[in-house]
A and B are shown apart, each in its own frame.
Chain A
C-alpha cells in the first residue's frame, strides 16, 4: 500500500509544531509590546488642548511655582487644575487681548469651565494620592517628566502598574530631599544611591506594595 503522506510531511509537521510555539511566543511578545507602547499608554503623545498652554513658558521662563496653579497638591489626592480665575489673575493684564487666550476669557465671561483634555489619567480602579508622595520626597518630575521643557504637555510615563511598582519596590532609587520636590532642575547626579538610602530612613518610607494601597 502506498504511503498516504509524503516523507516531506515529517518536516512540515516538525516545523509547524515548533513554529506554533514561536508563533504564540511572538504573538504574546507583540501584545506585551503593544500594551507598553505609546499607542496604548499615550506616553510622549502631546495632546491638543483648548488653550495651547505651555509649561515651558510658565515654569521655566517665568519661574512660576507648581503650586501657584496646582493648589491642592500638598493637601489632597488630586493636585488640582486651576480655576479660570487663576489664569485671569495675570491674563486680565498680560496678553489680555491675545486670540490664543480667547477660550480662557470666554470661560471667565460665560462662567463655563475650560474643557481640558486629561493628560494623566489613571484607570478608575486605581486610587493615587499626590499629597503623600510629595511628603515622602517624590518630586513632580519623577513621574511627570521634565514638565519645564514641555511646550504642550504630554504624559512622560506609561502609568502602567509595573511602572508604579518600580518605585514602590525600590523607593531609594527615586526619592529626593523634600526641599527639592517642586524643583524641575534638581539632579542627584551620582549621589542617588547613598542619598536614597538615607532619605528612605529619614522619611520612614515603607515599601507599600499591598494591593489595597491603590486598589479599593
Chain B
C-alpha cells in the first residue's frame, strides 16, 4: 500500500522550542499533536474521522430521497423476519461432568519460546473459547501475556496446515512412517552419522527423554537447536561468570532498587509475568508508602523504560561500556578500562545509581537484557554478587531447557555439516529456519544439499515448502505434552479438543524414529511420568498434576552454592565490542507477533504496538533527532543497507529512541504465513546476521522518496490535553496527598438537568491503577477474546475503525528526546450521567439499575449519535460486517455467552456483563449477595500487575471502594459531570533526589 507524499515534514526544532517554553507538565500522544499540524487539527476538528463518508460517489438530492424512502419502507419490515428453524443435536452418550450451558475449565500450559505458562482453558461443550492464567502456576499466578491469550485464535486458524505433504502433494502419515523407516535402516549402518535433528528450545521432559533415546540408538546423530529469540547471551554470560550454564531468576518482591541494563523484564524473559507482578507489588502506594525505584538503561524503547523512574537511552553498543563503568564504580574491578567511554552526564547518572544500589545491598537487583552481550550478563552476575543480592533478589538454578546450547553455534554447526554434504536426513521439529535463521548462514541454500528433509510445523510455511515431507503439527490446545516454566515447574499439557486436522505432536514424530511408531502422545507422556516414580500412587499423582496444571515440587531449588565467580571477567572479555561510530541497527522481536510465528493471528496483528501504536506493520524506528538530521518523517520509505544486504522499510519516529540507531523488529515480511500475515511489513531477517544478532553497526540509510501507509492508532480517540493522565512524585504525594484532586474540577452532584439515578442494590465500578499498568496490552486481547470482538484489517484501522473495547493510550511528557511515558487503559467509563444515553433515538443505550451503561444490540439502528456524544470515545461501530459469520472453524471460537455483532450496530465495553449475570445467578441460587471479588472482568483477570479492580462500590468494604477512597483516585473529564464509574489512580514516580534536575 503505497501513498504519495503530502509529506509535510515536521519541524522538530520548533517542537523542541515549544516544549521548552511550555510551563507545567505537557502531555502529548504524538508528534503531530505536539506540533499542532494541520493534519492533526483536521483530525481534531473532524473529531470522529471514522464516521466520515468514505464512498467516492456523492448522492444527489433525488437519489438520496429515493434511497431514504426505500430504507424507511424496509426498515419496519426488518423486525418481522421469521426466525429460521434450528435443530438440536443432543449427545448419544453424554460424558460425565458435561452440563450443556455451563463451561468447564481445564488446566494446561501454553508455550512461549519453549517455556511454559500455566493456563486454565474455558471449554464450552468441547470447544476451547478462552484462555485464562492458572492462579496455581508459578509463571502465571492467574495472568497471561498477549501471546497466551491469542493461542485460541491460532487453534481455529483456517490457514493451519491440515495434511501431510510429500513433495508438495497430499500424502499420508503411514507413507511418511514407511519412508522414514527405510531411511533409518540405511542410517543404522553408520550409527546415524547422516541424521540430524533441528528443534526450537525444548523444555519438555518427555521430549528430551525421547530425543536421548533416539540419540543413543544413533550415537553419531546430532540434535541441534535454534530459535530466533534465543538466550545465547544469557547462557554465554553465565558460562563466562560461572564456567557453566545456569538459569537466573529474580525475586523482585525483595528488590527496592532495580537497574535494568537493556533488560525488558516485563516482556522478554520467561518469568516476565511474575516479574511484572512483583515489580507492581513493590510499586503500589495504596498498601503503604513504600515504593521501589527502577532505573533503566535501554537501547530500543521497551516497556521497562516506560515504567522507569530514571531512564537513560544509550545505543545498544554503548551499554556494555556502561556496564563496565558500572562494575568499576561498584568495585568489581579496580583498574580503569580505557575502552570505557561514557560522558559526564552519564557519569553523574551512573554515580547516583551506584550510590542508590549500594545503599540497598541485598535489596536491589541488576537485570541484564536478553539481547545484550554475554559480558553484560557476566558483569551483572558479578555486580549482583558484590551487592549481596544473590540469594535475595537474584537466585540461580540449574538450566530449565533440556540440553541448553548456544543456539547460534548449534545452527552454524548444522549448516556447516549440511554444506559439507554430511546430512542425509534432517528432521525439523517446528521452527521456521528458512525464514528466520541468520542471513549469513544462507540456510535455504544449504538445506538443498540434504537428501531427505522433513518438517513438523503448525503452518505449511517457508521452511515446509523446501522440505520433502511436511507434517502438520498439533496445536498446543490439541496435544498431550509437557513443559517446564521459568522456575522449572513442570506442567502436563492436555488437549482441550480432538485434533481439528490430521496433526501430530513432536512426541509422535520422534516415536517414529525410536521404533515406537503409532504410539499415542497420551501414552508417551504418561509412561514418562510413570517411570519418574515421583509418587507412590501414580494414578493419584497423574490426576492431581492434570487437575492442578502443575506437577508438585518440580520447581528447581536455588543452587545453594554457586561456583565461585570467575576471577577476572574483564580478562575473559577481551574481544569486546567498541561503541560504534556509525549508525547502528537494533533487531528485536516484534512486540505483538513475536518472531513471526504469530504473523497469521489477526488479533495480534491488529493489536497496537505498545509504544509506536502501529498495527499490521513494522517500521524502522528512529529518534526525532535522527529524523531531523536525515530529513525523514513518518511513513517515508527508507532503504536500510547492512553488510551488503538491503531492505526497504517505512520510518516511524519514536521519542526516546537512542541516537544514531534504527530499530527494526523482525517477524514481518512473511511469504507463507497465511491469508492474514503473508506479504506485510519489512523482513528484518534479511539483514540479521549471526554477528549482528541483536545489533550491529554500519547500517546505511537512504531515503527512497516513496511513502508507505502505516496504520497507527496513536492519534485516534484524542481527547486533547485535559489532564487525562495525572502524575506526580512519591514525595509530592507524601507531602501533599491532595495534589491529584487539585488538578481537576468536579462540579457539584446536583448540577444536572437529569433526575438522579438511585442505586439500591449493587453499583458496579472499576479502578485502574496507572502506577501498576505497564502497558503490555494483555487486557485488550483478553477483552477481544472474551467479547467476540472482530478484527477489521489495516485499511479500517487507518480509517479509525478499530473495534477494541479497551484501548491503552500512551502519553509522552516532556523532552522530545527522552520523554517520560505513561500508559492509560481506557474502557467504557459507565458514566452515571452518561452523555450517550439521552441522545439515542431508539433507547438502544440506556442506564441500568446498577449503574451499567447498557448497550442493546438488537435495538440499535446505527445512528451513531451515542458515539458522537461520548467524550471518552470508547464506542465502536460496526461500519461493515466485521465479524466472520462464514468460516466454520471460527464459529467454534466464539464465546457463546456474548452476542456476535453484525453490521450497523454500536458496541462498547459492558464491564463483562455476562460474567456479572453469571455471578448474580450463582449468588441468587445460594440466596446470598455477590461476594467481593467474585466477578472478575476479562481485562482484570489477565492483568499481570493486577492494575484493574472491579466490584460493588455500594459496599464500602469492597476492594474497589477502598481504592476509590484513595487520595490518588480521579476520574477522566469529571468537569463534564459525567461521574464515570471507571476511575484511575494517578501514576507516581519515585525519582532519586540526586538525579532530579528540578529538585
- List chain A positions with a Cβ less than 8 A from chain B: 31, 34-35, 39-40, 72, 75-78, 80-85, 107-108, 111-118, 121, 123-125, 127, 129, 131-132, 135-136, 204, 206, 210-213, 215-216
Assess the B856–A31 pair: CB atoms within 8 A: no
* 18 A/B residue pairs, CB under 8 Å, sorted by A: A31-B76, A72-B99, A76-B102, A85-B92, A113-B89, A115-B89, A118-B87, A118-B88, A121-B83, A123-B858, A131-B921, A204-B927, A210-B850, A211-B854, A211-B856, A215-B854, A215-B857, A216-B897
Q: Is the CB of A135 within 8 A of B90?
A: no
Report yes or no: B86 in contact with A118, Cβ–Cβ below 8 A. yes
**CA of A81 to CA of B898, assembled, Å:** 22
| B927 to chain A: closest residue by CB | A204
Q: Count B interface residues, CB 8 Å.
A: 43
Q: Which chain A residue lies CB-closest to B857?
A: A125
Query: Does B93 sit at the interface, judged by CB under 8 A?
Result: yes
* A83 touching B914, Cβ below 8 Å: no
Look across to chain A and name the residue whose beta carbon is closest to the beta carbon of B852: A212
The interface residues of chain A lying within 8 Å CB-to-CB of B857 are 125, 215
Q: Are B90 and A82 in contact (CB under 8 A)?
A: yes
Determine if B913 is an interface residue (Cβ-Cβ < 8 Å): yes
User: CB distance B856 to A81 under 8 Å?
Assistant: no
CB-CB nearest in chain B for A81: B90
A25 to chain B, nearest CB (A): 14
State in angstroms the CA–CA spacing of A127 and B910 once bound together: 15
Residues of B within 8 A of A107 (CB): 92
B754 within 8 A of A: no
Q: Which of A80, A121, A124, A211 contacts B100 (CB 8 A)?
A: A80
Contact A210 B921 (CB under 8 A): no
Q: Which residues of B contact A77 (CB under 8 A)?
A: 101-102
SS class of chain B's interface: helix, strand, loop or mixed? loop
Contacts of B913 in A (CB 8 A): 212, 216
- What residue in chain A is nearest B910 (Cβ atoms)? A216
User: Nearest chain-A residue to B787 (Cβ)?
Assistant: A216
Would you call B924 an interface residue if the criterion is a C-beta within 8 Å of the partner chain's C-beta atoms?
A: yes
Known interface pairs A72-B101, A76-B100, A216-B897; A118-B924 also in contact (CB < 8 Å): no
Shortest C-beta distance, A89 to chain B (Å), equals 11
Query: Is the Cβ of A112 less than 8 Å from the Cβ of B79?
Result: no
Contact at A111–B92, with CB atoms within 8 Å?
yes
Q: Are A35 and B79 in contact (CB under 8 A)?
A: yes
Residues of A within 8 A of B89 (CB): 113-116
Asked if A108 contacts B92 (CB within 8 A), the reply is: yes
CA distance A117 to B90 in the complex (A): 11
> For chain B residues 900-935, which have a beta carbon within 8 Å of chain A?
900, 910, 913-914, 916-917, 921, 924-925, 927
Contacts of A215 in B (CB 8 A): 854, 856-858, 899
Q: Chain A's nearest CB lies how many Å from the CB of B89?
A: 4
Please report whether the interface of chain A is mostly helix, strand, loop or mixed according to DSSP: loop
Asked if B94 is at the interface (CB within 8 A of a chain A CB), the reply is: yes
B899 touches A114 (CB 8 A): no
Shortest beta-carbon distance from B265 to chain A in Å: 38
- Contact A129/B921 with A77-B101, A124-B899 known, Cβ cut-off 8 Å: yes
The 9 closest A-B pairs by CB, nearest first: A78-B101, A76-B101, A113-B89, A83-B91, A77-B101, A81-B90, A83-B94, A210-B848, A84-B92
Look across to chain A and name the residue whose beta carbon is closest to the beta carbon of B81.
A40
Partner of A216, one of B93, B101, B899, B925: B899
Complex Cα distance A136/B101, Å? 19
> With A and B bound together, what is the CA distance between A215 and B845 in angstroms?
12
Q: Tell me whether A72 and B100 are in contact in the complex, defined as CB-CB below 8 angstroms, given that A125-B899, A129-B921, A215-B856 are known contacts.
A: yes
Output the least CB separation between B902 and chain A (Å). Answer: 10
The chain A residue sitting closest to B91, CB to CB, is A83
Q: Give the docked Cα–Cα distance between A136 and B93 (Å).
A: 31
* 12 further interface pairs, Cβ-Cβ under 8 Å (given A121-B86, A125-B899): A35-B79, A78-B100, A83-B90, A83-B92, A107-B92, A113-B89, A114-B90, A115-B88, A116-B90, A117-B86, A118-B85, A211-B854
In Å, the complex CA distance between A136 and B102 comes to 19
B566 CB within 8 Å of chain A: no
Q: Are A84 and B924 in contact (CB under 8 A)?
A: no
A129 to chain B minimum Cβ distance, whole angstroms, is 6
- A31, B100: Cβ atoms closer than 8 Å: no
- Give Cα distance in the complex from A106 to B468, angstroms: 45
Contact with A along B67-88 (1 / 0, CB 8 A): 0000000001101101101111
Q: Which residues of A contact B79 (CB under 8 A)?
A: 35
CB closest chain-A residue, reference B92:
A84
Interface membership of B849, Cβ < 8 A: yes
Contact between B93 and A84, CB atoms less than 8 A apart: yes
Nearest-Cβ distance from residue A154 to partner chain B, whole angstroms: 13
Tell me how far the C-beta of A41 lies from the nearest C-beta in chain B, rounded to whole angstroms: 9
The answer to whether B102 touches A113, judged by C-beta atoms less than 8 angstroms apart, is: no
Q: How far is the CA of A92 from the CA of B925 in the complex (A)?
A: 37
Q: Is the CB of A113 within 8 A of B90?
A: yes
CA distance A108 to B94 in the complex (A): 12
A77 to B854, CA, bound (A): 22
Residues of B within 8 A of A117 (CB): 85-88
**Complex-state Cα separation, A78 to B716, whole angstroms:** 42
**Closest A residue to B899 using CB positions:** A125
Q: How far is the CA of A215 from the CA of B854 in the complex (A)?
A: 9
Docked pose: A72 CA to B96 CA in angstroms: 12
Q: Is B846 an interface residue (CB 8 A)?
A: yes
Other-chain contact of A210, B83, B91, B93, B849 (Cβ < 8 Å)? B849
State how many angstroms separate the Cβ of A26 from the closest Cβ of chain B: 14
Which residues of chain B come closer than 8 Å to A123, judged between CB atoms?
A: 83, 858
Contact A75–B102 (Cβ < 8 Å): yes
In chain A, what residue has the closest Cβ to B90?
A81
In the complex, which residues of chain B have a beta carbon less than 8 angstroms from the beta carbon of A125?
857-858, 899
Q: Complex formed: what's the CA distance from A72 to B856 in Å?
A: 28
Residues of B within 8 A of A115 (CB): 87-89
Contact of A72 with B102 in the complex, beta carbons under 8 Å: yes
Enumerate chain B residues within 8 angstroms of A34, measured Cβ to Cβ: 80
B125 nearest CB across to chain A (Å): 10
Q: Tell which of A31, A131, A204 has the most Cβ of chain B within 10 Å.
A: A131
- Shortest C-beta distance, A145 to chain B (Å), equals 19
What separation, in Å, do the CA atoms of A173 and B966 have in the docked complex?
Answer: 47
A216 touches B917 (CB 8 A): yes
Which residues of B sit under 8 angstroms from A31, Cβ to Cβ? 76-77, 80
Query: Which residues B354-397 have CB closer than 8 A to chain A?
Result: none
B139 CB to nearest chain A CB (Å): 33
Q: Using Cβ atoms and an 8 Å threshold, which residues of chain A touch B90? A: 80-84, 113-114, 116
